[in-house]
Amino acid sequence: MGQLLSESARFSIWFGSDAKKKATSPKHLGMLSLTTIRQLQHVYDAWTSYISAYEASGGKVEAFAVEEDSLRRALREAISSISEARRSFEGGGQ
């Protein structure tokens, strides 16, 4: 979770300073801004599924392993996607 917060913060700082200056169009800037929103929504959805499964199981680990794996995967994918969006734009690739 800490990595996601850090990457999201880096993206926000970068977006507010560099991306707004270098974007090729308002549409491109809008697409970039949706990157974190979509990824954070995906993590939130995985989190709510995890919490629901945990509560329904009474804390029995094996009962919510699928949801835990999904949450971990959502976190990794979000970190990667947010980082890649920033890096590809900084490197000129779009």
Dist. CA 30–CA 26, nearest whole Å: 6
Strand, coil or helix: 61: helix
For 19, other C-beta atoms within 10 Å of its C-beta total 20
Helix 65-90 and helix 2-14: axis angle, to 10°?
30
For 8, other C-beta atoms within 10 Å of its C-beta total 19
Condensed to tens digits (0 to 9), the pLDDT of residues 45-58 reads 999 999 999 999 98
At residue 66 the predicted structure's pLDDT band, cuts being 50, 70 and 90, is: very high
What's the pTM value of the predicted model, to 2 decimals? 0.83
Dist. CA 58–CA 76, nearest whole Å: 27
Rg (CA), the chain: 16
Domain positions in the chain: 2-11+25-88
For 65, other C-beta atoms within 10 Å of its C-beta total 12
